[in-house]
Chain A
């Protein structure tokens, strides 16, 4: 195990639903990330948090709303999603936000939007 836990593992939701993805890290890291993984496409960075403060919002639509209440927990709130938002959503953490640090990833939440 990587020390990064994501729930749920699978999620099916309609376009009018509201749901949340949860990520928890047990590594004492100070930075957390949300990535979107779609088939045959590079991973897309969505959000970066450092010490609970958002440091990057990579042009993500407002129907995705992140929340970082403390350095161990990260949420991604979803509302009025589109079918093209179906993907694997990966959470990651690192000790800090320096460029040479490796990321520790969770197993992801496979999201299907109907």
Chain B
């Protein structure tokens, strides 16, 4: 069965330090991978996606993620965290060309808290 795991419920980081939010997946076939962010009282916003090509993907607000096929991971990273990055982050996966319609499978989310 397809699944996405975000092993940490919460990540705490000091402002200015690098941050990593972890994601691993389990799917058959070639996955498309996404990160979304949810700020309080808002819907999810797209951050970045990996479809094919370069394993390092750059997205909005200075975030990037690295696709690692051997470890089936797609960790979200940022070199220097901001207090305004504090939010709920969701990893999601869908199948590639065999996937049919856009049925995203989401992880349970990781709350990122950046402290001044």
Contacts and interface: CB of A to CB of B under 8 A. Distances in A.
B83 interface: no
Contact of A99 (B32, B41, B45): B32
A99 B106 contact: no
B57 interface: no
Nearest to A43: B106
Contacts, number: 76
B44 interface: yes
Interface residues of B, dominant DSSP: loop
Contact of A105 (B44, B95, B99, B107): B44
A31 B46 contact: no
B19 interface: no
A90 interface: yes
A2 interface: yes
Interface string B1-34: 0001000010000000000000000000000101
Interface of B: 4, 9, 32, 34, 36, 41-46, 49, 51, 90, 94-97, 99-109
